[in-house]
Amino acid sequence: MGEPVGEQYPPGDDATVCWGIGKTFGVGSTPYQVFLTWSGLLPPRVGANKKFTATQDPITPGKWNCNDGVYEGWWLFDVAQTIAQIKIIGEPFAVTGFGGLCALTCVAPFGAGCVIS
């Protein structure tokens, strides 16, 4: 998941909820950047049905944020579930998707969903 670790794509800070001995993704580097793809979003957010490059949050290592100037969103591996959100910048309402612990997919209302890779 995420970009290959290397000089161009350094590893991120350890996100211990999903990485480590006995964890879902095992021992290895937490990616600094990932891709967050939404699909099935309805108007007015239909423009967010695309792939975003998301960067690891500086405070929460299990969270990645994206912002393309029109839409902003995030993906979070929480201690009990996966949560993702997308919204139009400046709009108070967002679409929120949920998945299981360390899930790579989420399900949102009205058939929308998202994938992290």
Sign of the alpha-carbon dihedral angle for 86, 5, 82, 112: positive
Residue 16 contacts residue 63 (beta carbons within 8 Å): no
pTM, two decimals, is: 0.90
pLDDT at position 8: 53
pLDDT at position 45: 92
pLDDT at position 2: 47
| pLDDT at 22 exceeding the cut of 60 | yes
With b meaning 16 or more CB within 10 Å and e meaning fewer, what string describes 16-42? ebbbeeeeebeeebbbbebbbebeebe
